Structure 1
């Protein structure tokens, strides 16, 4: 596969990796399981249990496991055709997916700030009337 095609696959595969990792670690639909994992990662007696449950609360950590699943499903390798291609692809996918999640987080934060500013302006207008 040409390098340009491999790079295109890299940026495209990072989208579902980022989407799944973000959804599991941040969105309301997984709030209850995430809260359970947060409690277990703080209160478990063994370090193995604490680290296991932490994996479901950290988007960076969880993106590694999502990436492994996608590498298995797609047989995607980057630059090299042997096992090293999987290794390079895995770390590259995690990195790009985390760039996507960081950008999404910044955009979302900006939207929340704008919503709060609108609410303040609405209250000021209502008070003047």
Structure 2
């Protein structure tokens, strides 16, 4: 089974996008806060872990990857179940590299905005 490796890097993009958006962005803030609360206060371990999944981009990326593999039938190296297993872990890893890079970029942009605002404030005070 010949699968171009670039599919791995392309398919990891929507995984990273969905996992990051659900676990970090403002649009899901209320749902995420509900899940954070339930992940700390639910009585059973299974419920706490279920709700925690929606608060952790790494954890959530595993479930998004499962869904994507089901939809795309993507396999790596082997044409059977082993190909799914390898694709699963490879996609999760690449997606999390993407999210780490995105997070670094966002932090740098925030630092730059803070510096610019500080400099602007200092210029106004002079």
TM score, norm. by length of structure 1 = 0.96
Q: Which SS does the other structure have where 1:121 is aligned?
A: helix
**Structure 2: runs of 5 or more not aligned:** none
TM score, norm. by length of structure 2 = 0.98
The answer to whether structure 1 residue 104 and structure 2 residue 102 are counterparts is yes
Match of 2:40? 42
- Render the CA deviation track for 1:37-68: whole Å, top value 9, x for unaligned: 00000111111110000000000000000000
Q: Which SS does the other structure have where 1:78 is aligned?
A: coil
State the aligned residue count: 126
**Structure 1: runs of 5 or more not aligned:** none
How far does residue 84 in structure 1 lie from its aligned partner after superposition? 0.7
Cα distance in 2, alignment partners of residues 30 and 40 from structure 1: 15
User: What is the RMSD computed on CA atoms of the aligned residues?
Assistant: 0.7
How far does residue 2 in structure 1 lie from its aligned partner after superposition? 2.6
Q: Which runs of 4+ in 1 moved over 2 A?
A: none
1:76-91 → structure 2 map (5 Å cutoff): 76-91=74-89
Match of 1:2? 2
